[in-house]
Chain A
């Protein structure tokens, strides 16, 4: 990802899974990150009045440089409008409609070179998703949504019965064997987990092998690497489900001498050429949600022949 591209996270999931709650949560906790959010309609979006700087038919400007736009049926026009802004946002979130297919949205976003897909997150209501997945009319739509997910947010786990939740977990794991499943209450997911914000901050704090627990549910750690690796192979291994990472960002040198940035979001991984060696050379920051970081496993991956 170059400096000019704008990372995009597509947020999918059926009606009532918590997409609006998640967006509100992210806007409230943007903490200096300039988020732009494209929603299908403003609907029930309960943005606190004191946060709203201005509002017209299609755009709500929010204190702190965030904005929310309703795109209706015209996503491409909204993306083009956003592309013309003088002060581009740091990260773009696109909310798919309840029956929208998030991978189709991601494909369309990629038609505009300025945007780069960071990841696809699909919310699933822990109480209802299993039933919806068997619905006469919705089964294939729900399956297509879940299949598209790099990260599945199993939301409202507090409302599901233990037995029901266990069943849903098993069904989801079978349904989406590669994607990361993270559990949440009221779509409360830290920005660093979902959007990777503040990962550089972790680099600053973490000296050598460092852990950072600034949130009860997620964990970040920095690993160091003192030799060249094949960046693609390493990225692929770090994105594997059994490692359990939600996000990874690292700066590595390949055996051919080139410098690369690698990134993973759930099962998705990407490698891009870095302009030159950086101070963060050989450093990889890893983030999990709920399960603790398996430092031993990650160290093993990093040190194995890549």
Chain B
């Protein structure tokens, strides 16, 4: 017996299928699309139920976030202290905090809620650069509590602010400390700002922000699913997970549940193993893949971050004269991983921020590809923020895809302009227009939780290239709304080698839709970030944001 067919009517369906770009109806059987068109064109599939709940909505392919981290869900365990409004998994929007006092006040509320005791207060999202680069010191946080340890992970992920109690518990409330990540006050004691992974790690466990807890955090993973529904996302990458056995088991179990709303693509991070072990483990993981959990892809970090001055940048280096950044892998390791991955048909995504790191990736990959030719490999550069036109031309020739960090233009564009790379290079950062012009397959991303998950916001960034002060940073690199919408659907799917299954609404593909109240092609470009999202259809299952 044939499974039942549901035909959804909609105000408009933007399919991203070039041969059938628009429709009014889409027919779904089980978890897949029978076809899109008019009702008349679809009735030929046989008996159906007409479902008109989306009659006044606009449907798009389910959005694909090609670079996020499921830890975005876990962070909502903690107090949000960011400068910008941000919506939590339950749909509550936390207003941005515009001063140190406002941050202290929110933490005081949390302290009152917790009552007596010595349990830590953990918080995240703080970005003091918007307060005029002031220091958020332990004295500030001591106004909240001197008995509970307090820690705030800053938005960049590279700094933690803690109170005196936290320093005391970590054995750091003493003079004589000599470490670039632990600035000292006039009395020679730590200020409370802990910079870089080592300094942060020392206090993290004492303030309840231990990273190790996060890779297999089931609660957080479920919250991430809710956030995806709110943003119209039906497939999301968890781009760098060490994927220990317990994390894989948890993810397989949760994504296998009838009501888990998003397909997850976890990439195994190159860390703590040799290239051979990495490839071996990734091949094992690939065999464990399900429709809802796509395992067996690899992520490598080549360098650090631009705003943290740890990215590798070519001559003439950082605009403010800071020394060049750090390599996180050797050229030999990159080449070995690329060769082995090409040999075993594994997809590798490489984190590069600086243009020197991008150059190194291209050099090592070119060598590997000569040794182990493989057409249609889809190896992808992630972030790749500073690539110049010549590098995009090389990507095209080598078949390399790019996933640019468009949200950076908004969140750190002013810093890039003034401090890190200077005006000229800040304008070419995340050069979407150049990528498209040169024919490089393009995706754009949020890197959630570094910036909030939300492909329409990311698309808005790529289309408008505005900073919070209203500066247009790189007018020439703006892309059209139509290109941006392709990029957050079929574009991202292509970089994950899933474009044959998802990313457009057409016969045979997964029944994944973003259900919208507004038509993104019928509003002003400046409003693209404000598209209202009703929810999603994922694998034929309907999830409304209101009920998630």
Contact = CB atoms under 8 A, between A and B. Distances in A.
Contacts of B309: none
A15 B328 CA distance: 13
Main secondary structure of the interface of A (DSSP, over half): loop
Interface in A124-182: 137-138, 140-141
Interface in A47-95: 70-77, 80
B278 to A, nearest CB: 10
A43 B333 CA distance: 12
Interface in B227-277: 242, 271-274, 277
Interface stretch (B36-44, B134-142, B195-203, B435-443): B195-203
Contacts of A233: none
B398 interface: no
A137 B360 contact: yes
B198 A72 contact: no
B544 interface: no
Contacts of A98: 330, 332-333
Given A74-B212, A140-B324, A108 B198 contact: yes
B332 A111 contact: no
B246 to A, nearest CB: 11
A41 B198 contact: no
Contact of B326 (A72, A73, A101): A101
B182 A41 contact: no
Contacts of B327: 99, 137-138, 141
Nearest to B170: A111
A52 B273 CA distance: 20
A164 B169 CA distance: 53
A282 to B, nearest CB: 30
Interface stretch (B56-64, B171-179, B288-296, B446-454): B171-179
B202 A112 contact: yes
**Residue among A16, A104, A108 having the largest count of chain B Cβ atoms under 10 Å:** A108
Contacts of B328: 99
Contacts of A14: 330
A44 interface: yes
A297 interface: no
B331 interface: yes
B197 A73 contact: yes
* Contact size range, B: 35 or more
A275 interface: no
Given A99-B330, A101-B326, A111 B271 contact: no
B305 to A, nearest CB: 15
Contacts of A108: 179, 181, 198-199
Contacts of A71: 272
B193 interface: no
Interface string B305-342: 00000001000000000011011111111000000000
**Residue among B198, B277, B356 having the largest count of chain A Cβ atoms under 10 Å:** B198
A257 interface: no
B178 A107 contact: yes
Interface string A93-116: 000001101001001101111000
Contacts of A137: 312, 327, 331, 356, 360
Contacts of A110: 177-179
Contact of B198 (A76, A99, A138, A140): A76
B180 interface: yes
Given A77-B212, A108-B199, A113 B330 contact: no
Contacts of A99: 326-330
Contacts of A113: 171, 174
Contacts of B329: 99
Interface residues of A, number: 30
A188 interface: no
B172 A111 contact: yes
Contacts of A138: 327, 331
A40 interface: yes
A66 to B, nearest CB: 20
Contacts of A77: 201, 212
B271 A73 contact: yes
A40 B272 contact: yes
Nearest to A77: B201
B177 A111 contact: yes
A72 B272 contact: yes
A112 B171 contact: yes
Nearest to B197: A73
A43 B272 CA distance: 9
B176 to A, nearest CB: 9
Contacts of B360: 137
B333 A111 contact: no
A147 B152 CA distance: 35
B157 to A, nearest CB: 13
Contacts of A16: 332
A15 B274 contact: no
Nearest to B329: A99
A31 B455 CA distance: 60
Nearest to B174: A113
A111 B179 contact: yes
A77 B201 CA distance: 7
Contact of A74 (B171, B179, B201, B326): B201
Interface in B419-464: none
Contacts of B332: 15-16, 98
A41 B201 contact: no
Interface string A1-33: 000000000000011100000000000000000
A113 to B, nearest CB: 6
A71 B212 CA distance: 13
B274 A43 contact: yes
Interface in B355-377: 356, 360
A140 B180 CA distance: 19
Contacts of B182: 111
Contacts of B333: 15, 98
Nearest to A70: B272
Interface of B: 171-172, 174, 177-182, 197-199, 201-202, 205, 211-212, 242, 271-274, 277, 312, 323-324, 326-333, 356, 360
Given A138-B327, A141-B327, 15 more contacts: A15-B330, A43-B274, A76-B202, A80-B205, A99-B330, A101-B326, A108-B179, A110-B177, A110-B178, A110-B179, A111-B199, A111-B202, A113-B174, A137-B360, A138-B331
List the 7 shortest-distance A-B pairs measured between CB atoms, nearest first: A72-B272, A76-B201, A108-B198, A99-B327, A43-B274, A98-B330, A15-B330
21 contacts: A15-B332, A15-B333, A41-B273, A71-B272, A75-B198, A76-B198, A77-B201, A98-B330, A98-B332, A98-B333, A99-B330, A107-B178, A108-B179, A110-B178, A110-B179, A111-B177, A111-B179, A111-B198, A113-B174, A138-B331, A141-B327
